Amino acid sequence: MTWKHPSSPVTKKFKVQQSVTKVMATVFWDSRGMILLDILPKGESFNADRYCETLDRLRHNVRRKRPGLLRSGVVLQHDNATPHTAKRTKELLEHYKLDIIPHPTHSPDLAPSDFHLFGPLMRYLGGKKFEDED
């Protein structure tokens, strides 16, 4: 029991909510839709090895979802994050003949994903609740 003055405002009880969990997603898409969505498992680091594995999956998905595109050329847009600029990554990109359009980190210019992906994704996910990460 708490003693208070009769003119004191009523104390509000707050509902306890589960904290927000963040996930890291790497998304590859084109004008026709998503080609690959890669979710980084909890506890794993996003490094050059992980990114190269993702590029392997991307190449497989491009072959399956966009037949002929690998022959005509695939262009990726990267910032200068360490996994994107690592020697192993550069060698794999060259081996797969994937071209890169650089996008400087903290650039004031919007990347296409900022405009065409993140907005619709946030509107789609807004207000939804998930019981677990799956």
Question: What CATH number does residue 91 fall under?
Answer: 3.30.420.10
Q: What is the per-residue pLDDT for 15? A: 67
Non-local (6+) Cβ contacts of 20 within 8 A are none
Number of residues in the chain: 134
- Overall domain count for the chain: 1
Q: Is the pLDDT of residue 12 over 80?
A: no
**Domain assignment present for 48:** yes
**Domain assignment present for 13:** no
Distance of alpha carbon 39 from alpha carbon 77, whole angstroms:
19
In one letter, which amino acid is 113? S
**Domain assignment present for 32:** yes
List the one residue out of 55, 41, 57, 63 whose CA is nearest residue 86. 55
- What digits encode the pLDDT tens for the residues 14-55? 666 665 677 788 889 888 888 998 989 888 999 999 999 999
**Domain assignment present for 6:** no
Residue with tokens 């002929």: 68
Residue with tokens 């990109």: 93
Which of 31-35, 114-118, 127-131 is the most confident on average? 31-35
Q: Which two tokens stand for residue 103?
A: 């996008």
Q: What is the per-residue pLDDT for 53? A: 97
**Domain assignment present for 65:** yes
- Residue 128: burial class (beta carbons within 10 Å; 0-12, 13-18, 19+): exposed
- What digits encode the pLDDT tens for the residues 50-92? 999 999 999 999 999 999 999 988 999 888 889 999 999 999 9
* Alpha carbon separation from 79 to 30, 72, 84, 109 (Å, rounded): 18, 23, 7, 12
Longest dimension (CA), the chain: 79
Distance of alpha carbon 98 from alpha carbon 49, whole angstroms:
17
**Domain assignment present for 29:** yes
Q: What is the per-residue pLDDT for 126? A: 73
